[in-house]
Chain A
Amino acid sequence: MLEIKNLHARISDGREILKGVDLAVKAGEVHAIMGPNGSGKSTLAGVLSGKPGYEVTAGQVLYQGSDLLAIAADERAREGVFLAFQYPVEIPGVNNMYFLRAALNAVRKQRGESAMDAGQFLKAVRAKLKLLEIGEDLLQRGVNVGFSGGEKKRNEIFQMAMLEPKLAILDETDSGLDIDALQTVARGINALRGPERAIVMITHYQRLLNHVVPDRVHVLSGGKIAKSGGKELALELEQTGYGAYGDAA
């Protein structure tokens, strides 16, 4: 599904953040990428999703066997790549329902499926809202406008459930969540696990991994994958901290 080879990337001020990332994720797998602050986790998410402000200086990213970096962000999304934002953006004046229907129909069009009419769409929305315990009234607002921190994160997973991506990258989806919200979000993610889908969870903490158990865990440090292992690696990190990986905290 996803193959990252020797990926180097820098940010707009010229600093190199990713210094040779190698990673392979197969369909059906859930991978966790952990690491200390400043190790390049969010840069990796940004580069994969096509966020402006990053420059890839070397290496390659293959998605379903073709060059992911060669296509624009909106096209990546239509091809099935989804990024759950660490900080979802508020967009006043753009109605949530209108936005989501436009997104869903753009993705469906790419898949060769017909556009959903308002009735079908509402039915699909209601089923997923329940899963993520989101009130229908939130959807009548502007995108993320007036949402609490937890509501914003649940809305990200709700969008993912609606768009049914093949590759989901979750950037610090657990940050800022209380335990109840964390469980709701985890339930949403688990419901989306499946043989056709790969999920990459980027996180600083181990706690989300108690609820969404990964197949593989990687430690990103100094812009490279420093160590990979099974789910027990996350527990090990919880004990020892990131000290061994160059983070004093």
Chain B
Amino acid sequence: MSAPAEIQPYVEAFKARPTAPEPTWLTHRREGAIRRFSELGWPTRKQEAWRFTDLRPLQRAVFPPAGSAGRATDADIAAWRYSGAAHRIVLVDGAFAPELSTIGDLPKGVWLASTAHTLRDRADLVEPALREIDVLGAQPFVALNAALFADGFVLALEPGVALDRAIEIIHLGRTAGRSSQLRNLVLLGPKSRATLIETYAGEGAYWTNAVGVVGVGAGAALRHIKLQDESAAAIHLGHNRIELGRDARYESFTLSLGGRLARTDIHLKFDGEGAACGLFGATLLRGEQEGTIATVVDHAAPHCVTREYFKSVADDRAHGVFLGTIAVRPQAQKTDANQLSKNLLLSRRAAIDTKPELEILADDVKCSHGATVGDLDEAALFYLESRGIPVADARRMLIEAFAAEVIERIEDDAEMRAHLGRHVARWLAAGNGR
């Protein structure tokens, strides 16, 4: 455990936080959370889940909560706006930015608002989702978030509601040396359905610490896209906890392009029979970037299906990490789970760590996993070159194809695939052509 001195500034920030009026239960939970955080301290590399993560960019400085929204204009979000139709919430430095948000007319049975607004008007919606779970377990960043969060977004769908348009959340970090502690809630009632795209971007050396709690009710379906395109100097820690009810469907795609230090944790639990999840993603890294995808899928119910496919590309001195745990509990018979991690190493000084882990305690299950690390296909590269395509372009085409292959897993949504494809192409075009 780290010396408390390292984290003391955050405990101080908690004590000095502006006293916004809030429900007493929430204040109590925040106090519990900051106590838990003080006990835990920063994670260390002795902890298995943090073995490959270099937290020094976070530890070298202190990132007090931003306090208020930095200034931003429509032009600042233009590059990230989803090309399809959407109800949009924009947050800047961890706080709702109403002038940039275009929520529009919501169908009946849909609640979409900032977390602060929801706590004011519909605290009943969020209370169950902000349970003690945040202070249990060794998740210091989740505990810190529980103590310090001021805003975020809440999407709640009543039973049977199907949203035609996507829900889009854009978060911009604008203030160097500050942190945005975002708390997001997505609650889908039984048999409802929605597509959600969260985008994280910004400018400067800030820290985004986002925690999302997602509940997908019986027979409901959520497609959950995350575009992590933080500034090259920023730190991004994103932690999503998902619970799936009976026969629920959950699909996530994480496209991770930005950040000096970026990590996405996905914790998914099957709570009812017959549910299915697809966890997909692509991480592109260059320079000194470190990017981690860490998934834990808890098969606590029988007859559930998991499909996991993550790809990463590491160039220059970048470091990519994939940690994938699938746990099958004794009662989770007929579990069908597979996991695949494919990685491209484009430079001798780049590194990839990939660690699949299956813990199977039931006997009648179908589980598999695989991992590969390789270079670009020499034969394919030569074929492109032999037609006159310059080497740098040929490499870009092959990297783009590598990412496109997993983006293809987003079925029946050409608009979303094209949107993500454009961001991949933009990332590639911004490179030095290696």
Which of A101-109, A186-194, A207-215, A227-235 lines the interface with chain B? A101-109
Query: Which B residues lie within 8 Å of A202 (CB)?
Result: none
A57 at the interface (CB under 8 A from B): no
B55 within 8 A of A: no
The answer to whether A102 touches B382, judged by C-beta atoms less than 8 angstroms apart, is: no
B387 close to A (CB within 8 Å): yes
Against B, the Cβ 8 Å flags (1 = close, 0 = not) of A94-117 are 100011101100110010000000
Q: A92-B405, A93-B402 are in contact. Are A103 and B383 (CB under 8 A)?
A: no
CA distance A91 to B402 in the complex (A): 10
Which A residues lie within 8 Å of B288 (CB)? none
Given contacts A74-B390, A78-B388, A110-B388, contact A94 B382 (CB under 8 A): no
Contact of B387 among A52, A92, A93, A163 (CB under 8 A): A163
**B405→A88 contact, CB < 8 A:** no
- Chain B's closest residue to A142 (CB) is B401
Interchain CB contact (< 8 A) of A94 among B386, B388, B397: B397
- Name the A residues within 8 Å of B404 (CB-CB): 93
Bound CA–CA A85/B383 (angstroms): 9
Residue pair B384, A99 in contact (C-beta under 8 Å):
yes
- Of all chain A residues, the one with the shortest Cβ separation from B393 is A102
User: Is A74's CB under 8 angstroms from B388's CB?
Assistant: yes
In contact, B383 and A88 (Cβ under 8 angstroms) = yes
- Contact A91 B389, beta carbon cutoff 8 Å: no
Q: Whole-angstrom distance between the alpha carbons of A89 and B400 in the complex?
A: 17
Q: How far, in whole Å, are A78 and B386 apart by their CA atoms in the complex? A: 9
Cβ-neighbour of B401 out of A92, A102, A106, A159 (below 8 A): A92
Give chain A residues whose Cβ lies under 8 Å from the Cβ of B390: 74, 106
Q: Give A165-179 as 1s and 0s: 1 = Cβ < 8 Å from B's Cβ atoms.
A: 000000000000000
Within 8 A of A (CB), among B377-397: 377-380, 382-391, 393-394, 397
Contact A99 B398 (CB under 8 A): no
Is the Cβ of A74 less than 8 Å from the Cβ of B389? Answer: yes
CA of A94 to CA of B388, assembled, Å: 15
Write the chain A residue with the least CB distance to B397. Answer: A94
> Which chain B residues lie closer than 8 Å to A94 at the CB level?
380, 384, 397-398, 400-401
Chain A residues with CB under 8 A of B378: 52
* Inter-subunit contact B391/A107 (CB<8 Å): no
For residue A44, CB closer than 8 A to chain B, the reply is: no
Across the interface, B394 reaches (CB within 8 A) one of A74, A98, A142, namely A74
Complex CA–CA separation, A70 to B92 (angstroms): 55
> Which of B378, B379, B400 has the largest number of chain A CB atoms within 10 A?
B379
Are A93 and B405 closer than 8 Å at their CB atoms?
yes
The yes or no answer to A68 lying at the interface (CB within 8 A) is: no
| Min CB–CB distance B417 → chain A (angstroms) | 12
Once the chains bind, are A106 and B389 in contact (CB under 8 Å)?
yes
CB distance from B384 to the nearest CB of A (A): 7
Contacts A52-B378, A99-B397 known; A91 to B384 CB distance under 8 Å? Answer: yes
8 A Cβ contacts from B59-101 to A? none
Contact A89–B379 (Cβ < 8 Å): yes
Q: With A94-B397, A94-B398, A102-B393 given, is the CB distance from A107 to B379 under 8 Å?
A: no
B383 CB contacts on chain A under 8 angstroms: 85, 88-89, 91, 143
User: Does A198 interact with chain B (Cβ within 8 Å)?
Assistant: no
Would you call B405 and A159 a contact (CB within 8 A)?
no
- Nearest CB of A to B13, in Å: 47
A132 adjacent to chain B (CB < 8 Å): no
* A206, B430: Cα distance in complex, Å: 51
CB within 8 A of A91: which of B385, B388, B391, B398? B398
The 5 closest A-B pairs by CB, nearest first: A93-B401, A77-B388, A103-B387, A74-B385, A89-B383
Q: Given known contacts A89-B382, A107-B388, A110-B388, what 8 new A-B pairs fall within 8 Å (CB)?
A: A51-B386, A73-B385, A73-B386, A77-B385, A88-B383, A89-B377, A93-B400, A103-B389
**Sample (9) of A-B pairs whose CB atoms are under 8 Å apart:** A72-B385, A74-B388, A77-B387, A83-B386, A91-B384, A91-B398, A94-B398, A99-B397, A163-B388
